[in-house]
Amino acid sequence: MKQFNFHVKPIGLLDMLHFKKLVPNRAEKLAEGANEQVTSVYKVNRMSEFMHPATQMLTIDEIIAHDDDTKTFILTGQYIAPFRAGQYLSVYLTIGESVITRPYSISSSPQWTKEGKYAVTVKRASDGFASDWILSNWKVGIQVTTSGPEGNFYYEPLRDAGHVIGVAGGSGITPFLSMAYAIRDGLEDFNLTLLYGSCAESDILYKLELAEIEKNCDKVKIIHVLSEEKTSCYEYGFITSELIKKYGGDHPYSIFLCGPPAMYNFVDKEIEKLKLESKYVRHELFTSPASPAGLDGYEGDVQKQYVLTVKRFGEQLSVPMKASETVLVALERAGIAAPSRCRGGECGWCRARLDKGETFTPSHLDGRRMADKTTGHIHPCCAYPLSDLTIDICPE
Ligand code: FES
């Protein structure tokens, strides 16, 4: 067997003795520190809470009425979270017995957050339970609770082309207004060509603001498209593939869409004709339709009524639920404060475990992870009941 000869000099011997004591010394130190309070507030935690707050208390500072059905609310707060142009705030509302949320795109420049301000624009919708309530009840000085800025509808240079064609309809202009401000203010760097569809000239939201940005910033170009009024100043008709090609120029460009479902249905078919890679086409959230009737794959009966049994923190209660509404709406109508943000299947905040029963989720809203699908989790914001259900809204 090979023999090793170590020659240890006096200094080395001291090192070895020191090393021998290293482990017992450490154990002693750990035992001493065992009773000390472990700090839980690191700088990075504080920064993360500031950037992504769960809630923000804001005050309505100013209200700008565009017409009887549309108002912009300027919301202020002492410390408000920064955002990327195109993101939204989810607003928390208590209306009668119902506790609900609604997402609204931020329409102001990201620059405004330095002054503690956001702007959101609310337009009355035909079935707009929340928008009607906000338009009638939000007054200057009232405090409102919102989420932090949320959503993925913003420009990302690693993914998107340097030229973005924004396709907007009605109040879907709001995230694009914020993007245009961000470009003007030097906070975003891309070219934005905005095709903005309205019925008539009088329906155009933020006409002066958009014109002002276009005048001062050569990276922003605005084209108004009117569907019900023919004038020499504007394009007439709908936003077609021809119109996109006319103003888009040579590919590559990314197309961002934000507007009502009817606009998505029409423009998506037009975009198909352009044969773009899917990464070049992005939609702002689709929120769940008021009824699943007529959706691809839906085989339920919207006239039926079911019972929803809800488990939360070891408690259990049962509430009525219509087949025509999402599970989240049934929870909210019963006054159960269920978590939610986007209401379109994307964010995962409403995730719940389905213990019993069957639901239908429209494929275009199904943002669940594969693991959640296989372990029986649902997103109540876009799940419609097909039977009585038992769900746990605070699963592990
Ligand atoms: S609220 Fe976002 S996924 Fe349901």
Question: What is the CATH number for 123?
Answer: 2.40.30.10
Domain boundary among 94, 115, 146: 146
Provide the number of structural domains found in the chain: 3
**180: CB partners within 8 A, 6+ apart:** 192, 194, 210, 213, 217, 220
Are 180 and 279 contained in the same domain? yes
Residue 318 lies in a domain: yes
Question: CB of 376 within 8 A of CB of 357?
Answer: no
- CA 140 to centroid of ligand 1, rounded, Å: 30
- CA Rg value for the chain: 27
Q: Is the CB of 346 inside a 6 Å radius of any atom of ligand 1?
A: yes
For CA atoms 239, 242, 247, 250, give the dihedral sign: positive
Quick one: DSSP state of residue 62?
E
Atom index in ligand 1 nearest the CA of residue 347 equals: 2
Please report the pLDDT score of residue 19 as a whole number: 60
Q: Is the CB of 332 inside a 6 Å radius of any atom of ligand 1?
A: no
Are 218 and 321 contained in the same domain? no
Residue at 115: amino acid letter: E
Question: CB of 120 within 8 A of CB of 73?
Answer: yes
Return the number of other C-beta atoms located less than 10 Å from residue 135's C-beta.
Answer: 19
Residue 6 lies in a domain: no
**274: CB partners within 8 A, 6+ apart:** 241, 244, 245
Give the CA distances from residue 242 to residues 37, 245, 275, 351, 356, in Å, rounded to whole numbers and listed in that order: 66, 5, 13, 41, 50
Q: Is the CB of 89 inside a 6 Å radius of any atom of ligand 1?
A: no
Q: What is the 3-state secondary structure (H, E, C) of 373-392?
A: HHCCEECHHHCEECCCEEEE
Are 142 and 185 contained in the same domain? no
- CA 364 to centroid of ligand 1, rounded, Å: 13
Residue 157 lies in a domain: no
- CA 118 to centroid of ligand 1, rounded, Å: 23
Count Cβ atoms within 10 A of the Cβ of residue 178 and give its class: 0-12 exposed, 13-18 middle, 19 or more buried: buried
Residue at 337: amino acid letter: A
Q: Indicate the SS3 state at residue 229.
A: coil
CA atoms within 13 A on the CB side of 76: 10
For CA atoms 203, 204, 207, 211, give the dihedral sign: negative
Q: Is the CB of 138 inside a 6 Å radius of any atom of ligand 1?
A: no
Give the CA distances from residue 52 to residues 82, 83, 230, 368, in Å, rounded to whole numbers and listed in that order: 9, 9, 46, 22
Q: Give which of 342, 343, 292 is closest to 149, Cα–Cα.
A: 342
C-alpha torsion 237→238→242→247, nearest 10: 90
- CA 384 to centroid of ligand 1, rounded, Å: 14
For residue 252, cis peptide bond before it (omega within 30 degrees of 0): yes
Instruction: Name the residue range of residue 268's domain.
Output: 163-283
Q: Is the CB of 151 inside a 6 Å radius of any atom of ligand 1?
A: no
Residue 373 lies in a domain: yes
Are 117 and 90 contained in the same domain? yes
**CATH code for the domain of 351:** 3.10.20.30
**330: CB partners within 8 A, 6+ apart:** 308, 319, 320, 321, 322, 385
Count Cβ atoms within 10 A of the Cβ of residue 140 and give its class: 0-12 exposed, 13-18 middle, 19 or more buried: exposed
3-state percent helix, strand, coil for the chain, nearest multiple of 5: 30, 30, 40
Residue 193 lies in a domain: yes
Q: Indicate the SS3 state at residue 26.
A: helix
What tens-digit pLDDT sequence spans the chain (396 residues)? 445 555 555 555 555 556 666 667 776 766 666 666 666 677 788 888 778 888 999 999 999 999 889 999 999 998 899 999 999 999 999 998 888 999 999 999 999 999 999 999 999 987 678 999 999 999 999 999 999 999 999 999 999 999 999 999 999 999 999 999 999 999 999 999 999 999 999 999 999 999 999 999 999 999 999 999 998 889 999 999 999 999 998 879 999 999 988 899 899 999 999 999 999 999 997 788 889 998 989 999 999 999 999 998 888 999 999 999 999 999 999 999 889 999 999 999 999 999 999 999 999 899 999 999 999 999 999 999 999 999 999 876
Are 140 and 53 contained in the same domain? yes
Q: Is the CB of 103 inside a 6 Å radius of any atom of ligand 1?
A: no
Residue 300 lies in a domain: no
Which residue from 346, 369, 391 has its CB within 8 A of the most atoms of ligand 1, so it is best to mutate?
346
Please report the pLDDT score of residue 39 as a whole number: 61
Are 142 and 167 contained in the same domain? no
